[in-house]
Amino acid sequence: MAPKWSGLVLAGFALTFYVVGGLLIMGGLIMIGVLGSQDLWGWGEARGIGYMAFGVGIVLSVLGVLVMRIMRNRGVA
């Protein structure tokens, strides 16, 4: 049997992934739509970095939701 605090740790990770993913999605959309072809601090074009942030954000949000669902189905939280 897992310790009682392990459910809280997993819930914290899931919520963190979900929130950070949402912020990356919104930031990516802003970079794609508003900044467009501007150069971002020498890192590259804002549109390309926006697409990357959007994709990573979707992955993190889905990961957060999956962890929450797994925890609920197994009775951890």
pLDDT, tens digit, 9 for 90 and up, residues 15-26: 899 999 999 999
Q: Cα–Cα distances in Å, from 23 out to 3, 29, 73?
A: 31, 10, 27
Task: Give per-residue pLDDT as tens, 44-76.
Answer: 788 888 999 999 999 999 999 998 888 877 776
The model scores a pTM over 0.95: no
Helix (H) or strand (E) holding 23: helix 4-30
